[in-house]
Amino acid sequence: MTDLLDKAFSTARTLPAHAQDEIARMVLALVGSDPAVYQFTPEEEAELTESEAAMARGDFASDEEVDAIWAKYGA
């Protein structure tokens, strides 16, 4: 193990368990041992499924709808 990686793991050990788990997931994904870095909630999974279905139908926002969103948020 390199000094830098050892320092990173030593620092990570001081973090709360949930933060350590997130770091572990990222490291495992980087080395190819765990492809799931983020776990969707059931609600997020349903939203993703609906978004993919809308995309398959060609159901996209019009230019006017996009412009309205940009205007609403000051862009």
Amino acid at 54: A
User: At 65, is the pLDDT very low, low, confident or very high (cuts 50, 70, 90)?
Assistant: very high
Plot region of 18 (φ>0 → left; ψ -120 to 50 → alpha; else → beta): alpha
Please give the pLDDT value at position 36.
64
pLDDT band per the 50, 70, 90 thresholds, residue 75: confident
CB 23 within 8 A of CB 15: yes
Q: What is the pLDDT of residues 9-59, one digit of tens each?
A: 999 999 999 999 999 988 888 888 766 667 789 999 999 999 999 999 999
Per-domain residue ranges of the chain: 42-72
pLDDT of residue 66 exceeding 90: yes
Instruction: Quote the Cα angle for 12-15-21, to 5°.
Output: 75
